Amino acid sequence: MARALINVPRKAKRGDIIEIKTLISHVMETGYRTTQTGQVIPRDIITLFTCDYDGEEIFRAELHPAISANPFITFHTVATASGTLTFRWTGDNGYSVTETATIAVE
């Protein structure tokens, strides 16, 4: 099940600034909504997103309930070497998803 979509250029020139787009399917329940019977729907959000480039962290975002459902995050990095980008989303109720993407730098 493809829960996460990641858009990383397959190839880049060394030193290029590349754009990375990520989208993950998640309800991001705020914990502020109630059902018709008045019960509060418990919070269930992704709280942290990180991206590692060959093991070194290049981006980190702390998410709050104000982030829309199916969090979409776009950021940039410098293509330094061919390698692997590791994306990690962690959140409430033991939520944890890891995805990887490879990039060829010439």
| Residues engaged in binding another protein (CB under 8 A) | 17-18, 30, 32-36, 41, 53, 56, 58-69, 71-78, 80
Q: Check the CA dihedral 19-58-89-98 and report its sign.
A: positive
CB of 18 to another protein, least distance (A): 8
What's the min distance (Å) between Cβ of 1 and another protein? 22
Strand 11-12, strand 17-24: pairing: unpaired
Cβ at position 38, least distance to another protein in Å:
9
Q: Which is nearer to another protein, 61 or 97 (CB)?
A: 61
**HSE of 42 in the Cβ direction (CA atoms, 13 Å)?**
3
For another protein, which is the closer residue by CB, 3 or 62?
A: 62
Hey, what are 6's tokens? 């990641």
Q: Compare residues 78 and 104 and give the one whose CB is closer to another protein.
A: 78
Closest by Cα among 52, 45, 53 to 70:
45
